[in-house]
Amino acid sequence: MRAPSIRRRLLLLLLASLVLVWALMLVVVHGEAREEIDALADARLQQGARTLLALDLKRLARLVNAAPAAAPGPSHAGDVPALEFQVWSDAGDLLLASADAPAAPPQLRPGYATLRLGGEPWRSFSLRDDRHEYWLSVLEPLAAREHPVEELASHLAKIVLLALPVLALLTWWVVRHGLRPLARLSSAIAVRDAGSREPIPLRGTPLEVQPLIGALNQLLQRLGRALETERAFTADAAHELRTPLAAIKVQAEVALATRDEATRLHAIGQVIAGVNRTTHLVQQLLQLARAEAGGLESQAVDLAATATECVARRAGEAMQAGIEFELSAESGCVVQGEPVMLAVLVDNLLDNAIKYGGAGGHARIDIRRAGEAVELVVADDGVGVGAGERERLRDRFFRREGEHAPGSGLGLSIVDKVAAAHGASVALGAGIGGRGLGVTVRFGGTRS
């Protein structure tokens, strides 16, 4: 299938517009020319009538006898047809008529009239001679007026036919010259390096092309962010997976080499635990990459319902860790966001509270309205983190020295990225009773 061409389409549209304008112009000029010629011919009729009215009947009779009848056949171009006239008495009797005057009824009313005589239309103008008490009518066939109109239309059509090729060539040149910025833009993009994400300069480009270049620059920015996210994910995955995979390999080699059943079972158990930790790490890395990529589809999400589902899902794990959940949720806490990613945010906060809350501890989850905003607060009463280190919890893979709880150090990084993607803020502070850690996620611009 032939690819669509802006140049070809624009050229065809312009040429079609020119032809249409020319055709309309011919119609308008033809109509105006007919009106002008009719007006001139009517003036000629009136002038002829007034000229003849200056003569008496004797002179009119001598004029009729002296004028030969018109020769039959078509008139030549440029010939001015002779006017025919009739003289009528007030009683309607024909007193005198020119040699070629048609058989017309008496015209005893002053002014113009259009008659059909002998199957052809005629135009007449009548005047009364008050001195001699008779009527004079001057007549002309309307067909005589068609020749100059058609001749004018023919001349105009010839001019159009001669001008169209020239206009088509000029239109082609104008379209080609007008689309040259697009060709330059295509060339500039074609020679760019595949790794270059520098914005295309807008300086010197036409206003009509600037929105296109602006959209391309925004696309390059988004592509750059996506590539950076991919590179960061690859680097993080390679860095963080190296150690657990090496440990899994060591334990697998121990299981193969030992003959002691207890040692072998222990090594296999360590392999399974290492696989579980690695799987959790990969899952968190994928969640982090998705949160950084953005482009989430927003919809109304009941944050209380989401938190309730997450708490119910993690309740068994919390019981095994000796953590007691306390959930307090106000009704009508609806935020705009992506349901799955909001569940990931809550789940990571709960995961941190379970890991670092300590056996016999508590984790409190509050969903509440704060003016026009909605707040999600997850707090525990574990060992917590010093005020100087709290902000570092947002960093990827940050873990305090001597920390033995299982984890990758990505939980709060994921929370931070998901919150940012939803236009929410994350505040870190002390937990329950001034102990542990409290995380407050505030969603602004919500609706209830």
Using one digit for the tens of pLDDT, what is the confidence trace for 136-150?
999 988 888 777 777
DSSP assignment of 160-198 = HHHHHHHHHHHHHHHHHHHTHHHHHHHHHHHTS-TT--P
Element (H, E) at 232: helix 210-257
pLDDT band at 401 (very low <50, low <70, confident <90, very high): very low
The whole-chain average pLDDT of the chain stands at 78
DSSP secondary structure letter of residue 222: H
CA 408, chain centre distance (Å): 45
* Cα–Cα distance measured from residue 149 to residue 314, given in angstroms and rounded to the nearest whole number: 95
pLDDT category of residue 442 using cuts at 50, 70 and 90: very high
Q: Mean pLDDT over residues 354-381, rounded?
A: 87
Residue 194 token pair: 């595949």
Residue 447 has what pLDDT? Answer: 42
Q: Are 87 and 96 in contact (CB under 8 A)?
A: yes
pLDDT digits (tens, 9 = 90+) for 328-363: 988 888 988 888 888 888 888 888 888 877 778 889
Whole-angstrom Cα distance, residue 363 to residue 387? 20
Picking from 203, 214, 209, the residue whose alpha carbon sits closest to that of residue 180 is 209
440 CB burial (10 A radius; 0-12, 13-18, 19+): middle
Dihedral-angle region of residue 213 (phi above 0 means left; psi in -120 to 50 means alpha; beta otherwise)? alpha
Q: Could you tell me which residue, 323 or 238, shows the higher pLDDT?
A: 323
Higher-pLDDT residue of 14, 273: 14
| pLDDT(398) > 90 | no
HSE-up of residue 388 (Cα within 13 Å, Cβ side): 1
Write down the pLDDT at residue 21. 83
The domain spans of the chain are 6-64+83-163, 194-293, 296-448
Provide mean pLDDT across the span 196-220. Answer: 75
What is the DSSP pairing of strand 362-370 with strand 324-329? parallel
pTM of the model: 0.44
Q: Is 135 helix (H, G, I), strand (E, B) or coil?
A: strand
pLDDT score at 366: 92
Q: What single-letter DSSP state applies at residue 76?
A: P
Find the mean pLDDT for residues 390-401: 55
Q: Is the pLDDT of residue 409 over 60?
A: no
Tell me whether the CATH fold assigned to 6-64+83-163 matches the one assigned to 296-448: no
Give the architecture (CATH level 2) of 296-448: 2-Layer Sandwich (3.30)
> Which of residues 157 and 366 earns the better pLDDT score?
366
CATH class of the domain whose range is 194-293: mainly alpha
Cα-based distances in Å from 349 to 136, 278, 310, 392, 414: 112, 19, 10, 16, 10
Q: For residues 277 and 260, what is the distance between their CA atoms, to the nearest angstrom? A: 26
Q: Which stretches of 61-203 are assigned E, i.e. beta strand?
A: 84-89, 94-97, 111-117, 120-129, 134-141
Residue 377, pLDDT above cutoff 90: yes
Q: Residue holding tokens 């962010």?
A: 225
Residue 426: pLDDT over 80: yes
> Could you tell me which residues are beta bridge partners of residue 96?
87
Res. 375: pLDDT tops 80:
yes
Higher pLDDT, 362 or 161: 362
The model's confidence at residue 448, banded by pLDDT at 50, 70 and 90, is very low
Task: Please list the residues that pair with 425 across neighbouring strands.
Answer: 442
pLDDT tens, residue by residue, 73-110: 344 444 556 788 889 998 888 888 888 888 888 888 89
Q: What percentage of the chain has pLDDT greater than the value 90?
A: 7
The architecture (CATH level 2) of 6-64+83-163 comes to: 2-Layer Sandwich (3.30)
Radius of gyration of the chain (CA): 50
Q: Other C-beta atoms within 10 Å of 439: how many?
A: 26
Helix (H/G/I), strand (E/B), else coil: 333 = coil
Closest CA to 57 of 82, 83, 93, 81: 93
Q: What is the structure's pLDDT at 374?
A: 92
Long-range contacts of 441-445 (CB under 8 A, 24+ apart): 441/345, 441/349, 441/375, 441/376, 441/377, 441/415, 442/370, 442/373, 442/374, 442/375, 443/303, 443/335, 443/337, 443/373, 443/374, 443/375, 443/376, 444/372, 444/373, 445/336, 445/372, 445/373
Beta partners for 125?
Answer: 112, 138
**Higher pLDDT, residue 435 or 79:** 435
Provide the b/e sequence for 7-24 (b: ≥16 CB within 10 Å). eeebbeebbeebeeebee
Angle ∠(301,305,310) on CA atoms, nearest 5: 110
In DSSP terms, 101 is beta-bridged to none
In this predicted structure, what is the pLDDT of residue 382? 83
4 vs 237, more confident? 4
Identify each DSSP E strand in 211-337 by its residue range: 299-302, 324-329, 334-337
pLDDT for 364 beyond 60: yes
From the list 280, 271, 288, 267, the residue with the least C-alpha distance to 241 is 280
Listed in sequence order, the DSSP H helices in 375-448 are 411-421
The pLDDT of residue 255 is: 83
Question: In terms of pLDDT, which residue wins out, 164 or 113?
Answer: 113
